[in-house]
Structure 1
């Protein structure tokens, strides 16, 4: 990952909060990805049914005076990152309202995946999991195939967010793609044929208003 303030971090899994994209008055994707998080030295334990063979760390972001100036709400964002012995990586996000005054927000896990590229190089493939929709953005990745988004409607950002319906059995790439898929499923797969690797991406507890 690359982080050179004031530019947003690129790489890894930045957190978009409390705003996704430019759907609001804040900076693009909100301010959370540009803040320094702290480690909780005494986090709550894993659930008994979910603790076998897992290591985890809890990262905390609390509202600062600077944050409240642009977004006047007190919160605590807890991000639990867990890794199992078989290589499964899971992220659990919890947002706590500190003072009890209601507020609304959106968030996304801005996931970067290292994949093959038609220029015999590597490129970063970005998937956004969020409450409302999934955004996929990639550049010239002919060796990449995505399964699980067939027949879904999407908004194409390269055509002024015009709405289309996915027609293919799977998504492949020969040119730049920047789309918002509506009604995203709970599981999709990203297949990298050149590297002989498959990423299976699951979401839970993120209902999609596009459904």
Structure 2
């Protein structure tokens, strides 16, 4: 019909962005929080243990190792990801190995104290752990442990721990600590670590005897369980086969633990596959040699930042000096 006009175009629906933060349940029924970055990076943190159990890049590649035999239920710890060792690392006194934080149920922290503003971080989750009456029987100190897990704009993973002494009896307490980080690697024989050269270390396989690292880089041919002391704030883990380098940055954590159980030890660990040692490496920012002491009201902060560079020294695309000192 003359003069008739076409109907107005139907407005396009806005493109929906995936939620940056989602609460879900894993296959075992444990609550988890899924962090998503619009570029496709993801991380998962379980309320059980306050433990990061997944960190993936934009291609969906898993960057952390979790054992195929890991048990996702109380009372044990989850084998892999980033368990939190508090209030002790190792085995001392009456406390269970590596403390109890990694096998307690954490709560979502709805009122966290402010952290320094980082305009690039949009996706994060805040958790909190306080001692139960049962915990106080084995470690008689009141505390508040606040944990923030965040994804940076380039997919970097940030963990910030803040531990405060809330004792009302005026007593200080001391603790040791580690982020027990399990990295996923192609093959342990294709991996090297730079940044720990010339460092002193305690060798747990030799009665905690003290040595000085002699090589220009760490390579792996057998079981290793060492605590490197007073280490630099940046460590590089180079995976030649995957042409990937993990860059580990830490603050408030002077030491670094390096662990791989190798073949014989692997067969004695119930929640660990016999051959899985080939595809994992633990490099753990820690405070082990000198315990941290807090008076009532005092707070300690320890921070870990992980990034994965899609290249390696082997490919000639990455300057080692820039990674370690840039």
TM-score bin, normalised by smaller chain: 0.7 to 0.9
Aligned equivalents of 1:71, 1:5: Cα separation in 2? 19
Aligned equivalents of 1:160, 1:174: Cα separation in 2? 20
2:137 counterpart SS class: helix
Is 1:17 aligned to residue 64 of structure 2? no
Alignment of 1:91-130 (within 5 A): 91-100=159-168, 101=170, 102-117=172-187
Q: Note the C-alpha offset of 1:45.
A: 4.6
Q: Note the C-alpha offset of 1:183.
A: 1.8
- Structure 1: runs of 5+ lacking an equivalent: 118-140
Alignment of 1:45-194 (within 5 A): 45-48=114-117, 50-100=118-168, 101=170, 102-117=172-187, 141-194=188-241
Aligned equivalents of 1:45, 1:161: Cα separation in 2? 40
Question: Which residue is 1:197 aligned to?
Answer: 244
1:142 counterpart SS class: helix
Question: 1:48-73: CA deviations, max 9, x gaps?
Answer: 3x133431111111111110111111
Question: 1:181-203: CA deviations, max 9, x gaps?
Answer: 12221110000111111110011
Higher gyration radius (CA): 2
If asked which structure has higher relative contact order (CA below 8 Å, sep 6+), I would say 2
Runs of 4+ in structure 1 off by over 6 angstroms are none
Question: 1:55-111: CA deviations, max 9, x gaps?
Answer: 111111111111011111111100111111201111111112223432111211111
Aligned equivalents of 1:158, 1:4: Cα separation in 2? 30
Count, aligned residues = 187
- Structure 2: runs of 5+ lacking an equivalent: 1-65, 256-286, 291-326
The answer to whether the Cα contact below 8 Å between 2:229 and 2:254 also exists between their aligned partners in 1 is: no
Q: TM-score, normalised on structure 2? A: 0.54
